[in-house]
């Protein structure tokens, strides 16, 4: 009798185990299935967002193009349009919203001065994405008002040693070009640095241009160019040219920092260094990972090409070259 009870109990335990196993497997399969479904839906949504943003960017650019064409057709645009007001159009078939607004960043008043530059913001909205492009619309600088491009600051040698540029072993140069008193602004158009590959060409050289802080150390990154080491001069030192396109409208009397930074394994470059020299308005930088030291009597070999203007511009109103940039959506 006792054995019979034990036997029945074991049987019912075994029967329960079957259901638990089946339900457990069902739950695992369900979780896996639901997760994969959820992931694929997230990927679809991510793709949709990326596509929306890409098109919104294109629409924002179109908004700027439209705004410029519109104000070119209206000689009274300064009085007909209001600072900061957003104007929208949605042409037939255009499945996105184009808007633009004009900003007078000097005094918030478009109408008070026909010579003041204007910021034009083109806004593109598509789906859930909003992108804003900004340009400067100002009187152009004529060829008579611009000098250059020419070498505006440099050090060409002699040198006494070579130093490596590597990850965490950066080199650089602070420089402050001198301009005539009538110069009102200046731009950098190209940088040349004298260097060569070093060892196995596996690293990457970053040539960066920063604004300078009060100590002549790098502050805000203005433009950057990266070169795999195998694109640098090989076998012997030579000038490596770096075009610069967006470092414009600089104030005379304010210097910049050129840095050579390495990433990846090994040395990114080798650069000749001058030591014990006398130089004005410049000093060499050594450092890495955001920490810099200056060396007034040392220098890398470099040439800064640029232009300077002697007037804020007296030509026609145009989009200032180099002024296209994305800005925060609102």
Q: Which of residues 31-60 bind other proteins (CB under 8 A)?
A: 33-34, 36-37, 40-41, 43-44, 47-48, 51, 54-55, 58-59
Could you list the beta-strand ranges (E) of 114-266. Answer: 118-126, 129-139, 146-155, 161-166, 170-175, 185-195, 204-212, 218-228, 238-243, 256-263
Per CB under 8 A, 200 contacts other proteins:
no
3-state secondary structure of 117: coil
Show the site string, 171-190: x = touches other proteins by CB under 8 A, - = not.
------------------xx
Report the residue from 149, 233, 249, 266 that binds other proteins according to the rule CB under 8 A. 149
Per CB under 8 A, 80 contacts other proteins:
no
Q: Strand pairing of 238-243 and 129-139?
A: unpaired
Cross-strand bridge partners of residue 277: none
Identity of the residue, 70 or 286, whose beta carbon is nearer to other proteins in the bound complex: 70
Q: For residue 40, what are its two tokens?
A: 């694929």
Identity of the residue, 169 or 225, whose beta carbon is nearer to other proteins in the bound complex: 225
**Torsion angles phi and psi, residue 91, rounded to 5:** -60, 160
**Residue 145 CB contacts under 8 Å (≥ 6 apart), including other chains:** 309, 310, 311, 313, 314
Site for other proteins in 300-329 (CB under 8 A): 307, 318-319, 321-324
Show the site string, 97-136: x = touches other proteins by CB under 8 A, - = not.
-x----------------------------------x---
Least distance between other proteins and beta carbon 107 (Å) = 25
CA distance 219 to 179: 23
Report the residue from 75, 93, 214, 251 that binds other proteins according to the rule CB under 8 A. 93
User: If you search the block for the tokens 């029945």, which residue do you land on?
Assistant: 8
Report the residue from 56, 68, 132, 257 that binds other proteins according to the rule CB under 8 A. 68
């Amino acid at each position: 009798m006792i054995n019979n009870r034990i036997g029945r109990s074991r049987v019912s335990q075994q029967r329960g185990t079957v259901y638990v196993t089946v339900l457990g497997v069902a739950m695992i399969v369900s979780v896996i299935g639901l997760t994969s479904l959820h992931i694929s839906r997230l990927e679809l949504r991510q793709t949709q967002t990326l596509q929306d943003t890409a098109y919104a960017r294109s629409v924002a650019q179109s908004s700027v193009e439209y705004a410029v064409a519109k104000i070119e057709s209206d000689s009274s645009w300064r009085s007909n349009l209001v600072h900061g007001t957003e104007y929208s159009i949605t042409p037939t078939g255009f499945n996105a919203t184009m808007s633009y607004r004009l900003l007078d960043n000097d005094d918030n008043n478009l109408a008070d001065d026909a010579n003041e530059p204007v910021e034009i913001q083109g806004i593109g909205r598509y789906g859930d994405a909003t992108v804003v492009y900004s340009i400067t619309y100002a009187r152009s600088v004529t060829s008579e008002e611009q000098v250059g491009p020419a070498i505006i600051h440099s050090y060409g040698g002699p040198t006494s040693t070579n130093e490596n540029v590597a990850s965490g072993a950066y080199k650089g140069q602070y420089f402050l070009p001198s301009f005539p008193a009538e110069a009102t602004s200046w731009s950098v158009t190209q940088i040349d640095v004298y260097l060569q590959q070093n060892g196995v060409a596996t690293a990457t050289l970053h040539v960066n241009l920063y604004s300078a802080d009060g100590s002549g150390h790098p502050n805000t990154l203005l433009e950057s160019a990266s070169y795999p080491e195998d694109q640098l001069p090989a076998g012997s030192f030579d000038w490596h040219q770096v075009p610069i396109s967006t470092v414009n409208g600089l104030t005379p009397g304010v210097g910049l920092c050129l840095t050579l930074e390495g990433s990846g394994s090994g040395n990114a470059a080798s650069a000749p260094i001058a030591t014990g020299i006398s130089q004005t308005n410049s000093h060499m930088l050594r450092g890495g990972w955001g920490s810099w030291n200056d060396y007034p009597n040392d220098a890398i070999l470099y040439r800064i090409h640029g232009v300077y203007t002697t007037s804020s511009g007296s030509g026609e109103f145009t989009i200032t070259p180099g002024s296209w940039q994305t800005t925060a959506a609102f």
